[in-house]
Amino acid sequence: MLHPYIFFLLANLLTIGTFCCNALAVELTRGGQPVAEIVIDAEAPSPAVRFAGQELQLWIEKISGGKLPIVSKINLAKTQIILGTPETSAAIKAIAEKYAADLAKMEGNDGFAIRTEGATIYIFARIPKGALNGVFRLLELNTDIIFARPLHAENGSGTIYSHTPNLSIKKADCVEIPAFPYIRSLGEGNRLWQTRLRNLIMIQEIPRHKTREKWEHLAPAWTTSKGIPRQPGIGKTHPEYFAIRDGKRQEGHWSQLCYTSKGLVEYYCKRVEDTLKNTPDDVVDIRMAHADNHRVCQCEDCMKPITLPNGTVVNPDDPAFRSSAFWLLNNKAAERLGDKYPGRYPRAFAYVWSAEPPPFELSDNLMVMYAPYVKSHKIPIYHEDNEPWGTRAQKWMAQHKNIYVFEYYMCTTTPRFYNPVTDIAALDLRFYLKGGVDGMYQDNASEAEKGDAADDPDKLTTANGYDASAIEYWVLSRLYWDPRQDPDELRDEFCQRAYRKAAKPMREFFRTIQTAWHKDPIPSHWNDNPVMSARQYIVKNNLQEPLRDLLEQAEDLAEHPGSKDLVKRHRAVFKKWLRLEAKVTQKLELTVPYRAKVSMDNFDFDSGVWKDAAVIDDFRTRNSLNEKAEVPTVVKVVNDRENIYLAFHCMKEDKALLKRLKGMKKISDWPQKPFLEFFIDGDQREKNGYYQLAFNALGSQWDARGRQPSYNNDKWKVNGQINEDNWKVILRWPLESFGRNITMNNRFGVMIYRETGNQTWLGVNVHEPSGFNDLKLEMD
């Protein structure tokens, strides 16, 4: 399907090298017996080159039955595949002058060349990881192998290939250069699978050579990273380094720093240097970050305007105010680091409140990791509806040379439904490439695939993300190497290699959902609810039967056991989508806007922060989905990034009841009538649990966790107004007190019950989390 944005940036892309041609057939196996050798002639081969030989040997044997020996001596009388770099291999060095143009293209990246000289095939690169990439490309060019998913990678449906006793190399003589030279990663999990996809993986927290060596065949040292640990006890010895919130210092794992604290710069830089002393010299990426939340310091000095070295003043209402404080500190650390440790690059996160580019130049010794969070994946980053992320990206790319992007296309729950996000990823990647971005990092759904499709019948699991979306992971890896490629053509290739005779119905299955997904105007984010996605794109479009038929056809047609297993897994997750969707009666998802300075005393719910708030007004008799409530209730919802606020307006109340309530005193127990109950799942969601609040306009409060009334939470507050025939309450509940935050867990289920009229939102029952409807918090 040709997406409407597909023509953007096509004319001005940077040159990416992919040049291949056919070669005379070079025989590797005959009748399942080896007739060629693999040569690694380096005296001390690097782990990556050694592993390249092992992988080539492994897959040739699995495909043909013939195990090619790995030798160290050149013998031109034999058919040989020589692996290495000019620096480590005499054989590669001998041809370096002839292929100088190839090697020049590989400078500073993990690209590779495959060249044939008679019966000799050379796979060479500038760095060992490039030679490893070349091995996998040689296999792909000359067999039908596909590394489809991490599970059952060597013996099962993770890798699909035909058995060919007579195996020859017919396609070679190519040079391939990656678009993004620094990193191309689907997170840090499933490293072996990602390596076989030719990703360039970031490996974090590698403190010692000894530890790193076990991964060195997967990633060069310069893509390993070391974070700066927080010094134990620093909160007690130097509490002034940490942010003040609500009048108190907030030392702890999730606390921000106080960037105006005296001595912080010296401490910060010393921690960088101390970290470097215990980090191998070839690990150049030193990770510096702030806490993953918006709880920035509110001390008097941190709220003052910032005067930059050039005299420019950044005021507190400037979008770059908070980020300026963060980047000033990192600039100082990077400059100091550059003087003492040239070639060691601190990497800082442009994320949430630090994502706005500061109004000053950054040190050339500083790497910036830009995280465009949260945006819609149905439109490119440069679309106006994704502002401010496109403008911010443009500013970063124009302002600084060392940029890479932390993306969320396949993050958390999203891949557990099939979302064709690579249509938009391709457009974004072309945009980033044109802007000079060095690398792409995908925040992955998990670190490892666990279990089978049916491991939990009542919940979509990590494994289901691969059952549903292995095709998109594979396509995204290809696009990271070369974003000029058409995602649909890549999907065609995936289906041909993975499903073979079942390719046609499987391709139509994906295309059907893809069409519905693009036609629907609702956005797609990093943490879409897969069950709600099934409702939105399948059930609402009456696609259950057509899609079910396509999967049945595919299973009937599939002959390769691995292909049949992949189809069965997809059928299982499809059935789970529909089964779980059927359980979630009338489930909705409501977006809660961000509002600053929400007052607990202003009961005008028609103006100010409440004017364009999210609205909940469809109340029905409890356990009666079709019976509208007799007395109206309207609830409005906003958030200020730290709290959720709900404004309840309960109308047509019994006047005598309200008059009696006015004469009572508020209590810290079950509230007097009339009252409201508010249920929220929060961090109890995975346990099928919830929190329960009960309150009234008098200010009486009661809370529980599940069926445990002994639970006590004093963080939430209510303030009420009692009128003649109606009453109002404003509820404030800190996100952290129910295990949620604006940046990572901004979605949760809720249910509201009003005692008068025995009514709930949409008529669902109380104490049943399966009937909760979702709120999703906006952060801008």
- Residue-wise pLDDT for 185-218, tens only, equals 887 778 889 999 999 887 766 544 444 555 566 6
pLDDT digit string (tens) for 351-378? Answer: 999 999 999 999 998 999 999 988 999 9
User: E-assigned strands of 118-242?
Assistant: 120-124, 146-147, 159-160, 167-176, 183-185, 203-204, 224-227
Express as a percent the part of the chain with pLDDT over 90.
65
Question: Domains in the chain and their CATH numbers?
Answer: 17-177 (3.30.379.10), 181-186+372-584 (no CATH), 220-369 (3.20.20.80), 589-777 (2.60.40.1190)
Q: With 90 as the cut, is the pLDDT of residue 443 above it?
A: no
Enter the DSSP assignment of 9. Answer: T
To which residue do tokens 């346990």 refer?
Answer: 687
Alpha helices in 523-599 (DSSP H): 530-534, 544-557, 561-583
Distances (CA, A) of 38 to 114, 240, 772: 14, 61, 60
pLDDT digit string (tens) for 311-332? Answer: 999 999 999 999 999 999 999 8
Q: With 90 as the cut, is the pLDDT of residue 771 above it?
A: no
Work out whether strand 614-616 and strand 633-639 pair parallel, antiparallel, or are unpaired. antiparallel
Looking at residue 532, its pLDDT comes to 82
Neighbours of 75 (CB within 10 A): 11
Looking at residue 245, its pLDDT comes to 79
pLDDT digit string (tens) for 45-56? Answer: 988 999 999 999
Question: In angstroms, rounded to a whole number, what is the distance separating the alpha carbons of residues 48 and 223?
Answer: 14
43 closest CA partner among 69, 73, 68, 70: 73
What is the overall mean pLDDT for the chain? 89
What predicted TM-score, i.e. pTM, was given to this entire model?
A: 0.82
Whether cis (ω within 30° of 0) applies to the bond prior to 352 is: no
2 closest CA partner among 377, 411, 420, 524: 420
Phi first, then psi, for residue 556 (nearest 5°) are: -65, -35
Name the most confidently modeled range: 248-262, 276-290, 667-681: 667-681
Least confident of 306-310, 387-391, 446-450: 446-450
- 98: Cβ contacts below 8 Å, ≥ 6 apart: none
- 670: Cβ contacts below 8 Å, ≥ 6 apart: 694, 700, 702
Question: In angstroms, rounded to a whole number, what is the distance separating the alpha carbons of residues 407 and 351?
Answer: 11
Mean pLDDT of 395-403: 95
Q: With 50 as the cut, is the pLDDT of residue 3 above it?
A: no
Half-sphere exposure of 777 (CA within 13 A, CB side): 26
Looking at residue 222, its pLDDT comes to 59
Phi first, then psi, for residue 737 (nearest 5°) are: -75, -15
Half-sphere exposure of 285 (CA within 13 A, CB side): 23
Under 8 Å between Cβ of 271 and 310: no
